[in-house]
Chain A
């Protein structure tokens, strides 16, 4: 484990300002495993710590054991504190108030966003959720965090002004670090325990409800080029595989595949998904006006002069039926 005393001696002062020091994280062990996101987060914490001259300390909640703690150490933690159970805001806030971390990194999830928000509010800390990138300003050590705005049309860099600096890290934002099994660290059992949640959770049966067209992240849209009911069934398969909403153009409406509430176009619904997959749609202006706000477009067209190909990020020319079938297979 690295020793920071030489750094402190060099600088003549404690590392980090106002006594806020080190990078803390919270991970949860489920059935002896850590999620890929937790490993990405601890890897990022290690990277930041090396730049700042700090230790990486992780609270390990859930059902922690020696082995998962060692996994955290192999991926970059210096200290692991075993804290079985579900983390709650009051206990975590009290703990962080006492430990004064410079940075706190959490996996971004629905539960952790609420947890981080309560803790930040209680501590008057800075908080940025859904981080796509995290770096430290080399001059004043302040964290510069990048997060999406306006549903992802761009990203905003946000500087943290207050300590602790709390960040929830998005899945896939950082690479999965390679484990170094020779790394050593210390493992401690925490005596304090988490408080029970005032909210009761019980597993509920799944309801298969495709996302609403106007809020879906991915829209799969059919046109006359899908030929027949069998072709439209392939489009439905593709949508189900992607968890996407199903739509169509005027042609699909005329074929009776979709209802008017699913017709994309200036005269129908205007959609702005992250990804729009047009299957067998050649592309009228009316249709284009309904989907021009999509951030990425795929056009699967029979004709090489189909107007939609020019507005698409990726085009494939051929039988839309065969291409959609091949796409479903290629996704495995």
Chain B
């Protein structure tokens, strides 16, 4: 079975800071990493390959430096890595990226499962998996975990706002994987050395995929200003008996929708 895994390189969201004076994101401390949920998707793909055989292909969109993310995928165990890189794609939004990825999946050929992370932890709206499925004309299962394959029926669990579901879908399908249970593996040292020194990251552009500018460059939304969270006022002590202090704390937390 051929599995494509779509990964995104993002700024480490745990190291991104806010600059209040400039009302902007301060990315200086933040390294570029593979979007954490995408690593879970890759892990799920590698486990399926171990049980059922086949091939795992990592796919990403971006400038040349995104190939580092793909090398990490190769180090973890992906068989092939393909970077979609084109100036035309630089300005594409979620719709254009989904279109390009779908075209790449078709171009690879014979792919029966596309895995990706539930969402990108930078500015992602979590819409890519469903958009990709729409472009491919395949069904999608979002927020899925522990995928299993039985006779070309894919089974997984999904947790929505209310409960946990057992879902099944006939392949081909798109699956968006959550960060649960099956943690991404650490690559062995030799494989890391191979991935960064010798392995090839294939690069495709829009011509290779037969994509025209009109198909991918239309902008549907535009980012405007940032809204800063209220300034924190540190060191506030709630007084009174433990019961009184606890009650006022719970009221504060509910008021700020923290619990």
Contact = CB atoms under 8 A, between A and B. Distances in A.
A138 interface: no
A125 B220 contact: yes
Given A124-B95, A198-B139, A327-B249, A204 B134 contact: no
A202 interface: yes
B165 A151 contact: no
A201 B143 CA distance: 13
A203 B140 contact: no
Interface string B134-177: 11000111110000000000000110110111111110010000
A149 interface: yes
24 contacts: A113-B142, A118-B134, A124-B220, A146-B227, A150-B11, A150-B25, A153-B16, A153-B17, A155-B226, A155-B229, A156-B224, A157-B225, A158-B221, A159-B222, A160-B220, A162-B218, A201-B167, A202-B166, A205-B164, A207-B164, A275-B253, A296-B256, A298-B249, A317-B237
A199 B232 contact: no
Interface stretch (A46-54, A79-87, A95-103, A306-314): A306-314
B238 A121 contact: no
Interface in A196-229: 197-207, 209, 212, 215, 218
Given A150-B121, A200-B168, A242-B259, A327 B227 contact: no
A161 interface: yes
Interface in A150-206: 150-151, 153-162, 172, 197-206
Given A150-B123, A274-B258, A329-B243, A198 B95 contact: no
B238 to A, nearest CB: 5
A314 B247 CA distance: 13
B46 interface: no
A220 to B, nearest CB: 11
A117 B127 contact: yes
A156 B223 CA distance: 7
A193 B232 CA distance: 51
A159 B223 CA distance: 6
The CB with the most chain A CB atoms within 10 A, among B125, B161, B167, B168, is that of B125
Contacts of B134: 89, 117-118, 121-122
A154 B259 CA distance: 18
Nearest to B162: A109
B158 to A, nearest CB: 8
Nearest to B179: A215
A325 B245 CA distance: 12
A289 interface: no
Interface of B: 11, 13-14, 16-18, 25, 36, 94-95, 98, 121-123, 125-131, 133-135, 139-143, 157-158, 160-161, 163-170, 173, 179-181, 218-229, 232-238, 242-243, 245-247, 249-250, 252-253, 256-259
A161 B226 contact: no
Interface string A296-332: 1010000010000111111111110011011101110
B220 A309 contact: no
Secondary structure of the A side of the interface? Answer: mixed
The CB with the most chain B CB atoms within 10 A, among A128, A203, A298, A327, is that of A327
B120 to A, nearest CB: 10
The CB with the most chain B CB atoms within 10 A, among A114, A200, A206, A298, is that of A114
A315 B238 contact: yes
Contacts of A309: 235, 237
A129 B125 contact: yes
A142 to B, nearest CB: 9
Contacts of A204: 157, 163-166
A156 B123 contact: yes
A27 interface: no
Given A201-B167, A312-B235, A330-B250, A157 B130 contact: no
Contacts of B225: 156-157
Interface residues of A, number: 81
A246 interface: no
A319 B243 CA distance: 12
A108 B165 CA distance: 19
Nearest to B247: A330
Nearest to A125: B220
B140 to A, nearest CB: 6
Contacts of B131: 117-118, 120-121
Contacts of A40: none
Given A110-B142, A121-B134, A323-B245, A206 B224 contact: no
Please give me the 7 A-B residue pairs with the lowest Cβ-Cβ distance, nearest first: A117-B130, A326-B246, A117-B127, A198-B139, A204-B166, A114-B130, A126-B220
A316 B165 contact: no
A322 B141 CA distance: 45
Nearest to A311: B234
Contact of B223 (A158, A206, A274): A158
A206 B163 CA distance: 7
Interface in A8-46: none
A134 interface: no
A217 to B, nearest CB: 9
Given A157-B226, A311-B234, A330-B250, 18 more contacts: A113-B130, A114-B129, A118-B140, A127-B220, A149-B226, A150-B13, A150-B25, A154-B18, A200-B168, A204-B164, A275-B259, A312-B235, A312-B236, A313-B232, A314-B238, A318-B242, A329-B243, A330-B247
